[in-house]
Amino acid sequence: MASVTRAVFGELPSGGGTVEKFQLQSDLLRVDIISWGCTITALEVKDRQGRASDVVLGFAELEGYLQKQPYFGAVIGRVANRIAKGTFKVDGKEYHLAINKEPNSLHGGVRGFDKVLWTPRVLSNGVQFSRISPDGEEGYPGELKVWVTYTLDGGELIVNYRAQASQATPVNLTNHSYFNLAGQASPNINDHEVTIEADTYLPVDETLIPTGWRSAIWSSPLWWHQQKVSARLRAPFTHGPGAKFAGEVAPVQGTAFDLRKPVELGKHLQDFHLNGFDHNFCLKGSKEKHFCARVHHAASGRVLEVYTTQPGVQFYTGNFLDGTLKGKNGAVYPKHSGFCLETQNWPDAVNQPRFPPVLLRPGEEYDHTTWFKFSVA
């Protein structure tokens, strides 16, 4: 069983409201989550000796989360990841979003779901946060009712996302926690062994938008192709062999992106002369719970396994961290000091008709779950 305790975390400036902290505790995990951005601020996991360490990057006080910082632990929405040039069309109407990461819109805009106060409700084994995103917020169409629920079951943190829309709108929700299984003050994640269960990934251009032109029919299976979604697609395949369209889905076989067997991250980046990962990996074709990734830290024995109902995971290795932010207990966070496994739809899906559908329409419900399972080996 899990216990839940509630406390004040801080006050927003100018009478903006009280931010609360909810501590979820089981025999194996302790998780702190605040109502500002549904943010995971701490996550304590035991090592093989039974010693607990906090394995997520973040801040001890509210002020840290109100400054410019890279979405530590927060829920991202209305659309996680990038939308090319901040524009998209829904049913023939064009929408324009704030360009907050030149030249694209990133993580919901200037004031995304990570920068708002949510309404909490305590559950027996967790906490549910809700809010209504008004029509036109950050340029997105329609009112969106959103619920994010965190529950604890032994060594497993379960995050469920639900949403309902008043008009057709793209929706893509995720959590942006940065993990370091050696402990959040450790200088890098080079000694972490990573496995990602993906046969394909999305190559990106210099602005991290999925790119490439692939002639003929796809050579690799698409997530939505394996599901009975043809009825929801407004148009059948009209491209014959030789046609060209954007959004390449590339096989990982023989590339640096083949993480189907464990790789030691630091050595792997060095061997392939990579700056790091910030890429979407295309997961198995199922809306049911499926295995996504496993990360093992041999020195401590800690293991994180991720399962999800989502079609993709953005694997990010903290390439933009630069050591300027002061975290918990005086920690600094240099490049590659944390990793993210952001389970989500594919980036720029609203502009890529061959990607899994991202539009939520009135009468439908967005409902996705991700499981973070911690253990020792």
The set of catalytic residues is 176, 342
Burial 240-272 (b: 16+ CB within 10 A, else e): eeeeeebbbbbebeeebbbbeeebbbeebbeee
At CA 280, angle to CA 276 and CA 286, rounded to 5?
Answer: 145
Long-range pairs for 259-263: beta carbons < 8 A, 24 or more residues apart? 259/194, 259/195, 259/196, 259/198, 259/315, 260/195, 260/196, 260/197, 260/198, 260/199, 261/195, 262/193, 262/194, 262/195, 262/294, 262/296, 263/193, 263/194, 263/195
Q: Is 217 exposed, middle or buried (0-12, 13-18, 19+ CB in 10 A)?
A: exposed
Distance CA 163, CA 189 (A): 34
- The alpha carbon of residue 273 and the mean position of all alpha carbons in its chain are separated, in whole angstroms, by 25
Joined together, the tokens standing for residue 310 give 């989502």
Joined together, the tokens standing for residue 120 give 């909490």
Backbone dihedral angles phi then psi of residue 261, each to the nearest 5 degrees: -115, 150
CB 22 within 8 A of CB 127: yes
3-state secondary structure of 18: strand
Q: How far is CA 299 from CA 330, 337, 373, in A?
A: 23, 16, 18
Question: SS3 letters for 114-144?
Answer: HHCECEEEECCCEEEEEEEECCCHHHCCCCE
Beta bridge partners of 79: 172
Q: How many CA atoms lie within 13 A of 50 on its CB side?
A: 1
Nearest Cα residue to 190 out of 291, 88, 297, 333: 297
Distance CA 80, CA 343 (A): 10
